[in-house]
Amino acid sequence: MVLGTASLPVTLGSCTRPGRPGHGSPAGSSFRYCLNTSTISGQKPGLLESIEIASIAGYDGIELWVRDVQAFLKEGNSTSSLKAFAEESGIRIENAIGFAPWLAGGYSGFSQMEEEMHMLAEAGCHRIAAPPAGLSAGTPLDLFQAGEKYAGLLELGRETGVMPQLEFWGASPVLWHLGQVLMIAAVAGDADARILPDVYHLFRGGSSFDALHMIDGSLIEIFHVNDYPGSKPRLEQTDADRVYPGDGAAPMGQVLGSLEKMGGEKVLSLELFNREYWEMDPLEVARTGLQKIKSAVASLQVPD
């Protein structure tokens, strides 16, 4: 037990494991619920405590950050202990957020990605984000070359057992749009290609939410859920402006309805960077976020 009883009145032993009634996704749902640790990173709870918070709050899984896992190991801990703790807590390590510059200049970023993939595999995590980290703002991205690189990254993923989820950033000057990652995936021409969309990034980069109708369900496994305020111009918004799903202007019912219709199991991961939430109790933030996601799912609008 990592958390003290003073901060968390609910004990870990009262939580059931994923798949049991009362925990996580309802039977028959195509959604699982996940906590990205960015949502409570301002409180600095630590890696194990973040996992415990996710478990007590009722999530099925967690998204870790590569740098936090690396710091955990530098403290003398092991990947096997991290894996065991997550399993004992009834939490899947669904994905990890890293910033290896795999798209930038040659193939030098592949060695970093390979090292991180091996580390995550040992911890029981089988996905890693593949964002446009390290790209120069003044250099246009060759989408054909990017597709060839992503094909190579997928081969590396199969070798390590940790599959790269192609991510775009709405404020990126080079890879900001859903259409770009769809082309990269198409050029890769690989059945294991996956993209990692995000409500905020779709909005910030000017992607149409209607475009989600064009996607086959197998292309998305992880989807970052959040919302954005309607009172601030799109191009002025930053990650810190993200709010709980349903508390902003995003068409959450439409977005989740599109995910439901496209088929396949989806991990809905709450990824926020809101400084106000970082001042609150992390368990309260996690619980509120899960309740907001489930309320949005309950009112989703499946398109015709």
Answer yes or no: is 52 within a domain: yes
Q: What does the alpha-carbon distance between residue 245 and residue 227 come to, in Å, rounded to a whole number?
A: 5
Does residue 50 carry a pLDDT above 70?
A: yes
Q: Token pair of 267, please?
A: 């991990």
CATH of the domain at 287: 3.20.20.150
Angle between helices 47-57 and 79-88 in degrees, nearest 10: 20
pLDDT in tens, 263-285: 999 999 999 999 999 999 999 99
Q: What pTM value is reported for the model?
A: 0.90
Sheet holding 31-36, edge to edge: 92-97, 61-65, 31-36, 266-270, 222-225
Instruction: Return the pLDDT at 172.
Output: 97
Residue 69 inside a domain? The answer is yes
Structural domain boundaries, residue 209: 28-298
Q: Reading across the β-sheet that carries 195-196, which strands appear in turn?
A: 127-130, 163-167, 195-196
As for how many domains the chain has, the answer is 1
Distance in angstroms (rounded) separating the CA atoms of residues 300 and 251: 10
Q: For 56-77, what is the mean pLDDT?
A: 98
Residues comprising the chain, all counted:
304
State how far Cα 167 lies from the chain centre.
10
Mean pLDDT score across all residues of the chain: 91
DSSP sequence for 238-265: -GGG-B-TTSSSS-HHHHHHHHHHH-S-
Is the CB of residue 213 less than 8 Å from the CB of residue 258?
yes
Backbone φ and ψ of 160, nearest 5°: -95, -20
Residue 148: inside a domain, yes or no?
A: yes
Position 105 in a domain? yes
pLDDT at 106: 74
pLDDT in tens, 148-175: 999 999 999 999 999 999 999 999 999 9
pLDDT per residue as tens digits for the range 113-130: 999 999 999 999 999 999
CA distance linking residue 95 with residue 125, whole number of Å: 6
Mean pLDDT of 204-228: 96
Which pLDDT tens digit goes with each residue over 24-37? 544 334 899 999 99
Share of the chain above pLDDT 90, in %: 85
Residue 18 lies inside a defined structural domain of this protein: no
Q: What is the mean pLDDT of residues 221-237?
A: 98
Does residue 98 sit within a domain? yes
Residue 21 pLDDT: 33
Task: Answer yes or no: is 136 within a domain.
Answer: yes
118 domain residue, yes or no: yes
